[in-house]
Amino acid sequence: MNRLLLLALSFSGVNALSVRPSNSTECRVIPGDAAWPKASDWASLNNQVEGKLISNIPIGAVCHNTFVSSTLGTVNTYDAAKCNKLRAHWFEGETHMSHPSSPMQYSATNNSCNPFDTDPNSPCTIGNHVLYSINATKPSHIQAGIKFAKKHNIRLIIRNTGHDFLGKSTGPHSLAIWMHTFKSREFINKWNGPDGYKGKAIRLGAGVQGFEAYAFAQSKGVVILSGNCPTVGITGGYTQGGGIGPLSSIHGLAADQVLEYTVITAKGDLVTANSKSNTDLFWALRGGGAGTFGVVTSMTVKVFQDKRTSSALITVLDSGNNTDAIYSGVETFISVELPKLVDNGIYIIWVLQPAGFLIQVRIAHGKPKSELDAFLAPTVQIFSSLGLTPEYLSWDFPDFLTAYKTAPGGQLNVSDLMYGGRLIPRSVSTDPARVGALVAAIRHVGTRTPISGVAFNVSGSVSSPGDVAVNPLFRTTLFNLVLGVYMNYSDWQSNMDNMNLITQDYVRGIEQATPGGGAYLNEADVQQPNWQDAFYGSHWGRLSQIKKKYDPTAVFYSRTAVGSEQWEERLDGRLCKV
């Protein structure tokens, strides 16, 4: 599909991913087709997975009188108390991550079972939720799922926590392999793998989440690379997609530190991928995107010495008539101070929104507060010299985890925004001739809706860029820009319109100011035009070859994953070859 056609489609107001009509008859089977597996086939799958097959009911069903599906018929589902509880906790990751089918990105559900519908008589159907989930607890359950999907030609999804912003862990008419129970954690004092590394390592099961990995590492006196969000699946989409986090400017991306994966391939084999075995697969799984090359069952990563840590917070409120001064300060901050801060290993998230500007220094690992205060003094000075009144707060912590849990910026809502993103080249941010245009594009968004930047320096000094599949543009990026527009649960069409606003106005404006930039495949616009290039950069060709080698029939399909360009998702949710 060429870029022009994609743009034309999105300008027509229909989301581009769902309408790419072709005449192909090579399609996945969906319910209602003669070839759809019979009840007895599903029963036999359930036997093979020892009763772990779940026929899904969407999480919002407790707010509707009935759930109607082809698999379960009509089920009475309304429960006022459960519905109220669900609504009260809807924006928390915990609500969705232990559920077999709920994606945190609500815009990926097709609004088929809205938890905030005021009329309980309104319909609740399966929509884009996974139809069945295997609550896998061992490799044979995963192998049975892959075999079943291949035999019956149905769509297969790998689900872990459901965090994916692009909706890659959900999909209509599909069978999901759900990895949530794979929680093993093992400390290895002296690694003895083929790569020659002899230091400390940790092996994690596929279902381990950030907070569990961080706590386990701390119990061993070390730190591990995971994200800012405590509930993200570290072995799942996070590390396989690259993985930006609080230690990025010190130890690189999460994918840079992987020593080994164990993986179940499309053939159904359980294999090891490391620097000696299945080296191409090992390369691809380090940043080439999850849900693409196989089902990872475990990952072993290098870990590092824990150190004392400090954190800080700078706030500048927008009073309505100081916006010019704020953005003038932002320009100096981005072009002059931010590069120095990341080069010194300091992890920074800045946020702009109509209410003002925030700089969250979540983690300065290894730096006492006094040192951090000195690093940040020039930034505070930028804003005060513009007549603004920045508030400055900072704290000392004994270790990484205490800072991570205590410093502001760790409480993140889910299911509230639709996103777009862009990797901002350091060459643009620090070029006096170009940073003005970038900040103007940021201001266009930031005076309307939240926009943020997670800043890092993951150049060769802290990682091995040549060895991993991560988009090479990361190595010359100063910050990953993410913007969001609030979802409206009572006006679905406005959400679809806003997705197009993100693509055609907000992200496009940033793109025009940052030629040569790309986007982080885990934190980007699902409608990103020219996504192969933007998400994978110069690694696209090699990743495509590896996909063909390990998954020639595309058992694993995720939107915007390598290989997905050969498929289209039609309006009825059917997946067909283009």
Ligand X SMILES: Cc1cc2nc3c(=O)[nH]c(=O)nc-3n(C[C@H](O)[C@H](O)[C@H](O)COP(=O)(O)OP(=O)(O)OC[C@H]3O[C@@H](n4cnc5c(N)ncnc54)[C@H](O)[C@@H]3O)c2cc1C
Q: Which residues contribute to the site for ligand NAG (CB under 6 A)?
A: 22-23, 54, 91, 100, 110, 112, 127-128, 135, 137, 172, 181, 319-321, 343, 413, 426, 457, 459, 461, 476, 488, 490-491, 494, 572-573
Contacted by 295, from ligand X, ligand NAG, none: CB < 5 to 8 Å by type: ligand X
- Among ligand NAG, ligand X, none, the one that 459 touches (CB under a kind-dependent 5 to 8 A) is ligand NAG
Secondary structure of residue 494 in the 3-state scheme: helix
H helix count then E strand count, the chain: 19, 22
Residues forming beta bridges with residue 361, ordered by sequence position: 312
Shortest Å, Cβ 439 to ligand X: 24
**Which of ligand NAG, ligand X, none lies near 100, with the C-beta cut-off 5 to 8 A by kind?**
ligand NAG
Judged by beta carbon, residue 133 or residue 300, the one nearer ligand NAG is: 133
- Residue 160 binding target from ligand NAG, ligand X, none, CB below 5 to 8 Å by type: ligand X
Alpha helices in 277-387 (DSSP H): 279-285, 323-332, 338-343, 369-384
Is the CB of 342 or the CB of 439 nearer to ligand X? 342
Tokens of 165: 């912003």
The residue among 164 and 511 lying less far from ligand X, judged by its C-beta, is 164
CA distance 364 to 348: 9
Minimal distance, residue 252 CB to ligand NAG, in Å = 11
Strand partners, 567: 577
Least distance (Å) between residue 434 CB and ligand X = 26
**What are the structure tokens assigned to 145, written together?**
């799922």
**To the nearest whole angstrom, how small is the minimum distance from the Cβ of residue 520 to ligand NAG?**
17
Q: Which does 202 bind (CB under 5 to 8 A by kind): ligand X, ligand NAG, none?
A: none
Residue ranges in 220-336 assigned as alpha helix (H): 239-240, 248-251, 279-285, 323-332
Torsion of CA 17, 19, 23, 29, to 10 degrees: 70
Distance separating alpha carbons of residues 409 and 351, to the nearest angstrom: 10
- Give the shortest CB-137-to-ligand X separation in angstroms: 13
Beta carbon of residue 22, minimum distance to ligand NAG (angstroms, whole number): 5
At which residue do the structure tokens 């379960």 appear? 72
Binding site for ligand X (CB under 6 A): 104, 158-165, 168-169, 179, 206, 227-229, 232-233, 236-238, 240-241, 243-245, 290-291, 295-296, 412, 414, 522-523, 558
573 makes contact, choosing from ligand NAG, ligand X, none, with CB < 5 to 8 Å by partner type, with ligand NAG
Is 46 or 275 the residue whose CB approaches ligand NAG more closely? 46
Q: How many CA atoms lie within 13 A of 211 on its CB side?
A: 9
The nearest distance, CB 565 to ligand X, in angstroms, is: 15
DSSP-assigned letters across all residues of 435-452: HHHHHHHHHHHHTTS-EE
What does residue 66 show for φ and ψ, rounded to 5 degrees? -135, 155
Burial group, residue 40, by CB count within 10 angstroms (0-12, 13-18, 19+): exposed
Please check whether residue 181 is in contact with residue 136, taking contact to mean a CB–CB distance below 8 angstroms. yes
State the amino acid at position 57 in one-letter form: I
> Which residue number, 58 or 291, has a Cβ lying nearer to ligand X?
291
Residue 179 binds which one of ligand NAG, ligand X, none, with CB within 5 to 8 A depending on kind?
ligand X
> 252 near 342, Cβ under 8 Å?
no
461 binds, among ligand NAG, ligand X, none (CB under 5 to 8 A by kind): ligand NAG
Give the shortest CB-478-to-ligand NAG separation in angstroms: 7
Nearer to ligand NAG by C-beta: 100 or 453? 100
